[in-house]
Structure 1
């Protein structure tokens, strides 16, 4: 396998393994079996099982934030902020395995302490800049950048977790308007 193909095959395998058996089932030997890559190749590309987890987390988190960032434009904040929450929920529905992985990996203590916070800040920089500019214009109440994910998106996170725990028992489409309203209520001036 070519270098890029091996990396993608291992990350795809990691998602399949997590979907079938959870994070605990994702071992280097299982990754090799599902991806077709050798154990040595996995260690070469990722350094360890933790390296696979970190790479998949970063890829998934960046994809999620990228989907949200598509809403950032010159429309009024009262229109854009609810759309950000809606795009977040849409991404969860379209990518449930990645969504579940992002939540599980972030609470399982599997992400490296070095660099994860900096990575998240870098990926979320366009959102932080947009919020900062809109706050300066008086369209939003001041919210520190660290709170954008943890506080502002709190209602979206909670509904996403409920949906991922049992998609048949929690209707995310029905919840979407309430989530959009709640997220806007957190930041409106």
Structure 2
């Protein structure tokens, strides 16, 4: 990597780190060019050079943290020896990630993230293909083995992640959910919805 490329990567990291900090402190309404450049020490021109706009910066920030979350989820599944323990590991990994990265969790579960996700769903999915393929392969493998009910993969994803996302959103916004309790309760409840022989 050339020194110029390295400087560019450092600048991108500074801007993304600053944007998350600003988002965590001030919400989306505080996420302005002046706020991000003030925290990062990077010029507005560099922000526009690397991201094109604040929308581009926000999309890059979402992509960065989505990739990190998916990586944690894949790692959790790969360390599991059965579908049931995989569900438990995935739930714990997701909730731990949200607790450890609250600002990123707020961003990933925001209405803005939903809007960008709907508008750019295929592009985001394509960008995360390397992370999503192992998740889909894991589900398909356990359907084929007879452990998981033979349902369409998107439906299985919704049955597994829907409750976890719902609890995460509630913890992030209302704070009236105990994540440790959720990590104990949700895996069994989710397993009952997807296990081939669960009752």
CA–CA distance in 1 between the matches of 2:40 and 2:26?
Answer: 16
Structure 2: 5+ residue stretches without partners? 1-5
Counterpart check, 1:144 vs 2:152: yes
TM-score, normalised to structure 1, is 0.90
Using the TM superposition, give the Cα deviation of residue 42 of structure 1 relative to its aligned residue in structure 2, in angstroms.
0.4
Counterpart check, 1:132 vs 2:140: yes
Q: Which residue of 2 aligns with 1:86?
A: 92
How well do the aligned residues superpose, as a CA RMSD in angstroms? Answer: 1.9
CA–CA distance in 2 between the matches of 1:145 and 1:121?
Answer: 15
Q: 1:37 aligns with which of 33, 39, 42?
A: 42
TM-score, normalised to structure 2, is 0.86
CA–CA distance in 2 between the matches of 1:100 and 1:120?
Answer: 20
Q: Which residue of 2 aligns with 1:175?
A: 182
Q: Which residue of 2 aligns with 1:184?
A: 191
CA–CA distance in 1 between the matches of 2:125 and 2:75?
Answer: 22
Deviations along 1:108-141, whole A, 9 cap, x unmatched? x245526123334543211111111111111111
Q: 2:27 aligns with which of 22, 26, 38?
A: 22
The runs of at least 4 aligned residues of structure 1 exceeding 4 Å deviation read none
CA–CA distance in 2 between the matches of 1:182 and 1:174?
Answer: 13
More helix by share: 2
Using the TM superposition, give the Cα deviation of residue 54 of structure 1 relative to its aligned residue in structure 2, in angstroms.
0.9
Structure possessing the higher relative contact order (Cα contacts under 8 Å, 6 or more residues apart): 1
Count of aligned pairs between the two proteins: 187
Q: Which residue of 1 aligns with 2:127?
A: 119
SS of the aligned residue for 2:147 comes to coil
